[in-house]
């Protein structure tokens, strides 16, 4: 079956020779998977405005810079914060939208020479250290960033991001936009999908995020001691729940197959993960042999009750309770903890529609998206539906290589087509009607070519009750000829699209340092940042510049220093060669944007303290001599003169 749709639905403005070339080269890279693309009975329909369709956004809303590519005038603020994963850098990035300007980089799992993250004692305590005080891990791989909710929309308190390499979950305080906690997840590898709950499912009085759900992509022997490496029956993946406030691991669920991405329902009752490699293959050709994989649903309240009732086991040194979510242990729907909805094929992504009705899985190696009705899933758990296949509201053809889906809040979904290098806009209700037999339901609304091979996308406020349908951003994995050449390692291409009208309009390209994965787009009034720290948050902060001093206990020396532009509280201080020195620096300035740095030559020390912030570093003074400590962050007309001397006596 011809799934490129070149004959069925013309693509306005498409560069077909280029697209076909890109499709052929991309398909060659996954030749076996492309050769087994799943066919389907449904055919995508030609785009046409539907009678009675939901109206586009008001004209006033559509005027939000659509005419000038998202460019903002000097001094004009963006409408939205974009929270981006940093990918292999291990960081999180903050962009302003629609401008696409990078505002901040938040170090998380990485060291940052600018801020001192990974060098200060405070940041190393969050990241985790070895007995010698060095960082336990120095690399990270962030993929998915999601923020905390109250009653189905962002509340601006926290954001979370995963580390796929070392199975860690990090939390970011959005008032300071700094990482404040990192938790290692036990018993897993390949921690990929993450999503917080949108409403507490147990106590109706609590309507803010209390849980964060995490999926592990790689199955490993449990316990992973090396003894069962050759026994495939010992390999399992776990789905994990973390407490949003304490960041302690609450529980885990043993499942068949693996986890990919994660979604949560608006009523707090269900969490889910899509699965590829339900075959449990160890080689890629074995991971795509089955015609269908699954979307696994987790009944949160039942799982928590099972834990309370002691119906769990533990593995290895971990004390985290693990309940049995395998198919064999959950055959009775009325007591089941999990339910496996079959979907085609190697799906990559599961996303929740803003109306709270559906989860959508895109097929990747099938040209389809599967719409799952959450009300029917709950009926299955209650015994009212006899087959999980009946929870599928639609399975419709979109194009080649569907990956991820976003929403505009007006009934439309937007899905990336990796092989077609397109974003396709489609109407969910019309897709359901078409699937049920109404061949006049034209569910494909529009297609837009993007450059090139799109992965993740998200729309403004997309997976919240306040999805506003203004902007959509798509992260393209290849930029090729879109920017000035910079050698073999190309930037990625973030493309901003206006989705306020019936037709999508490409606004701008923005190069992005490789390799971000996912992101969210949040109204700026949802995040209330603090421009000045709270002095009392650090127990060792000094309150007055006169409190600067040196304290010695044996060969351990603590140096308390206040900074007040343009001077440090100590013009000089003395230590002895071989001393273990701890510098505790407090920025006593109260003026916004007046930070101070502190660097010591030849001692690998450099960090920043923002207004009213305190931070510390510990090092060994192993060289005799005079070492000028200087402010690295421009702060004052006398910035160059802002110094202290560390005198190391031999």
pLDDT at 39 over 70: no
pLDDT in tens, 58-69: 433 444 444 467
Phi and psi angles of residue 482, each rounded to the nearest 5 degrees, phi first: -85, -20
The secondary element (H helix, E strand) that includes residue 62 is helix 59-62
Both tokens of residue 505? 């309009």
pLDDT in tens, 539-549: 999 999 999 99
pLDDT at 5 over 70: no
pLDDT at 73 over 80: yes
pLDDT at 434 over 50: yes
pLDDT at 42 over 50: no
Q: What's the confidence (pLDDT) of residue 291? A: 87
Q: Is 624 left (phi over 0), alpha (psi -120 to 50) or beta?
A: beta
Mean pLDDT along residues 181-199: 97
> DSSP 3-state assignment of 453?
coil
Angle (CA) 377 349 430, round 5°: 65
Q: What's the confidence (pLDDT) of residue 289? A: 84
The pLDDT confidence band at residue 17, using thresholds 50, 70 and 90, is very low
Q: Characterize 184-220 residue by residue with b for buried, 16 or more Cβ atoms within 10 angstroms of its Cβ, and e for exposed.
A: ebbbbbbbbbbbbbbbbbeeeeebbbbbbbbbbbbbb
Burial zone of 439 (CB within 10 Å; 0-12 exposed, 13-18 middle, 19+ buried): exposed
Residue 590 near residue 613, CB atoms below 8 Å = no
Which residues lie below 8 Å from residue 75, measured CB to CB, with a gap of 6+?
none
Residue 599 near residue 575, CB atoms below 8 Å = no
Which residues lie below 8 Å from residue 409, measured CB to CB, with a gap of 6+?
354, 461, 466, 467, 468, 469
Beta-sheet strands, E only, within 6-152? 80-85, 91-97, 101-107, 145-150
Q: What's the confidence (pLDDT) of residue 203? A: 78
Q: What's the confidence (pLDDT) of residue 68? A: 64
pTM across the whole model: 0.90
Q: What's the confidence (pLDDT) of residue 218? A: 95
Torsional sign, CA 243, 249, 255, 257: positive
Q: What's the confidence (pLDDT) of residue 7? A: 32
Question: Which of 49-53, 57-61, 168-172 has maximum average pLDDT?
Answer: 168-172
For residues 205 and 6, the model is more confident at 205
pLDDT in tens, 316-342: 999 999 999 999 999 999 999 999 999
pLDDT at 571 over 60: yes
Label the pairing between strands 80-85 and 249-255: unpaired
Domains delineated in the chain: 535-649 (2.60.40.420)
Q: What's the confidence (pLDDT) of residue 215? A: 97
Beta bridge partners of 216: 191
pLDDT in tens, 263-315: 999 999 999 999 998 888 888 888 888 889 999 999 999 999 999 999 999 99
Please list the alpha-helical segments (H only) found in 366-423: 374-381
Q: What's the confidence (pLDDT) of residue 19? A: 46
Residue 17 near residue 25, CB atoms below 8 Å = no
Residue 623 near residue 602, CB atoms below 8 Å = yes
The pLDDT confidence band at residue 372, using thresholds 50, 70 and 90, is very high
Burial zone of 585 (CB within 10 Å; 0-12 exposed, 13-18 middle, 19+ buried): buried
Q: What's the confidence (pLDDT) of residue 204? A: 78
Q: What's the confidence (pLDDT) of residue 60? A: 35
CA proximity to 610, closest of 581, 590, 636, 580: 590
Q: How far apart are CA 191 and CA 566, in angstroms?
A: 46
Q: How far apart are CA 349 and CA 366, in angstroms?
A: 13
pLDDT in tens, 496-534: 999 999 999 999 999 999 999 999 999 999 999 999 999
Q: What's the confidence (pLDDT) of residue 63? A: 41
CA proximity to 498, closest of 433, 434, 425: 425
Residue 588 near residue 563, CB atoms below 8 Å = yes
Tell me how far CA of residue 497 lies from CA of 199, 226, 460, 501, in angstroms.
30, 49, 11, 11
The pLDDT confidence band at residue 56, using thresholds 50, 70 and 90, is very low
pLDDT at 603 over 50: yes
């Amino acid at each position: 079956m011809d799934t490129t749709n070149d004959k069925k639905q013309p693509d306005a403005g498409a560069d077909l020779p280029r697209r076909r070339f890109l499709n052929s080269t991309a398909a060659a890279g996954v030749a076996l998977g492309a050769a087994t693309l799943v066919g389907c009975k449904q055919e995508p329909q030609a785009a046409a405005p539907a009678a009675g369709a939901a109206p586009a956004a008001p004209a006033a809303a559509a005027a939000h810079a659509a005419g000038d590519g998202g460019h903002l005038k000097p001094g004009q603020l963006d409408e939205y914060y974009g929270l981006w994963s940093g990918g292999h850098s291990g960081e999180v990035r903050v962009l302003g939208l629609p401008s696409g300007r990078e505002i901040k980089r938040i170090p998380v799992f990485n060291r940052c020479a600018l801020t001192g993250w990974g060098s200060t004692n405070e940041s190393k305590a969050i990241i985790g250290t070895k007995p010698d005080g060095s960082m336990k891990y120095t690399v990270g791989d962030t993929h998915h960033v999601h923020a905390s909710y109250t009653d189905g929309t962002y509340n601006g308190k926290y954001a979370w991001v995963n580390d796929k390499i070392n199975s860690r979950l990090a939390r970011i305080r959005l008032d300071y936009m700094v990482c404040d906690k990192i938790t290692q997840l036990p018993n897993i590898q390949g921690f990929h999908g993450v999503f917080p709950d949108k409403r507490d499912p147990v106590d109706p009085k609590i309507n803010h995020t209390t849980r964060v759900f995490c999926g592990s992509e790689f199955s490993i022997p449990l316990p992973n001691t090396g003894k069962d490496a050759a026994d495939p029956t010992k390999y399992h993946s776990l789905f994990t729940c973390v407490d949003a406030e304490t960041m302690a691991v609450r529980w885990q669920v043993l499942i068949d197959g693996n986890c990919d991405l994660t979604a949560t329902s608006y009523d707090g009752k269900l969490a889910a993960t899509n699965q590829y490699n339900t075959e449990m293959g160890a080689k890629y050709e074995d991971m795509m042999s089955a015609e269908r994989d699954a979307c696994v649903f987790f009944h949160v309240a039942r799982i928590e009750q099972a834990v309370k009732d002691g119906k769990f086991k533990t593995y290895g040194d971990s004390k985290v309770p693990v309940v049995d979510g395998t198919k064999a242990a959950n055959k009775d729907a009325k007591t089941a903890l999990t339910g496996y909805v079959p979907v085609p094929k190697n799906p990559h992504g599961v996303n929740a529609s803003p109306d709270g009705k559906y989860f959508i899985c895109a097929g990747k190696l099938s040209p389809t998206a599967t719409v799952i009705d959450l009300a029917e899933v709950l009926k299955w758990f209650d015994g009212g539906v006899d087959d999980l296949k009946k929870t599928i509201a639609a399975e419709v053809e979109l194009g080649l290589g569907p990956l991820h889906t976003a929403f505009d809040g007006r009934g439309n979904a937007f899905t990336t087509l990796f092989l077609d290098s397109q974003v396709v806009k489609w109407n969910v209700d019309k897709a359901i009607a078409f699937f049920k037999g109404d061949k006049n339901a034209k569910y494909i609304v529009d297609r837009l070519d993007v450059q090139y091979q799109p992965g993740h996308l998200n729309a403004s406020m997309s997976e919240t009750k306040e999805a506003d349908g203004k902007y959509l951003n798509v992260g393209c994995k290849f930029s090729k000829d879109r920017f000035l050449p910079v050698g073999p390692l190309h930037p990625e291409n973030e493309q901003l699209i206006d989705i306020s009208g019936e037709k999508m309009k490409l606004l701008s390209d923005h190069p992005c340092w490789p390799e971000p994965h996912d992101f969210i787009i949040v109204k700026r009034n949802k995040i209330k940042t603090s421009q000045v720290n709270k002095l009392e948050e650090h127990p060792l902060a000094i309150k007055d510049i006169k409190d600067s001093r040196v304290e010695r206990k044996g060969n351990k020396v603590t140096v308390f220093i206040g900074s007040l532009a343009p001077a440090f509280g100590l013009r000089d201080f003395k230590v002895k060669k071989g001393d273990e020195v701890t510098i505790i620096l407090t920025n006593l300035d109260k003026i916004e944007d007046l930070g101070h740095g502190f660097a010591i030559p030849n001692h690998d020390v450099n960090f920043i303290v923002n207004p009213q912030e305190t931070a510390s570093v510990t090092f060994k003074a192993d060289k005799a001599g005079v070492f000028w400590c200087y402010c690295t962050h421009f702060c004052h007309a006398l910035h160059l003169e802002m110094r202290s001397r560390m005198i190391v006596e031999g």
